[in-house]
Amino acid sequence: MKLYDFTLSGNCHKIRMMLAMLGIDYETQSIDLLDKEQLSPEFLAVNPFHKVPVIDDDGFVLRDSAAILIYLVRKYGKPEWHPDDPAAIAEIQQWLSFSVNEVFNGFAIARALIIFKREGDHEAAVELSRQGLDIMERHLKDHDWLALGRVTAADIACYPYTALIEEGHVSLEPYPAVREWIGRVEALPGYVAMPGLPYTA
Residue 73 burial class via C-beta count within 10 angstroms: exposed 0-12, middle 13-18, buried 19 and up: buried
Average the pLDDT over 80-109 and give the result.
96
Strand, helix or coil for residue 4: strand
Average the pLDDT over 100-118 and give the result.
96
Q: What percent of the chain has pLDDT over 70?
A: 100
Report pLDDT for 165: 97
Does residue 201 register a pLDDT over 70?
no
Report pLDDT for 183: 97
Report pLDDT for 36: 87
Domains of the chain: 2-79 (3.40.30.10), 82-186 (1.20.1050.10)
CA–CA gap between residue 105 and residue 131 (Å, rounded) = 11
Collect all residues with Cβ–Cβ distance below 8 Å to 173 and sequence separation of at least 6: none
Express each pLDDT in 111-136 by its tens digit: 999 999 988 999 999 999 999 999 99
pLDDT grade, residue 174 (50/70/90)?
A: very high
CA–CA gap between residue 128 and residue 134 (Å, rounded) = 10
What is the 3-state secondary structure of 131-167? HHHHHHHHHHCCCCCCECCECCHHHHHHHHHHHCHHH
Q: Which DSSP letter does residue 77 get?
A: S
Q: What is the DSSP string of 9-51?
A: -HHHHHHHHHHHHHT---EEEE--GGGTGGGSHHHHHH-TT--
pTM assigned to the model: 0.95
| Helices and strands counted in the chain (H then E) | 8, 4
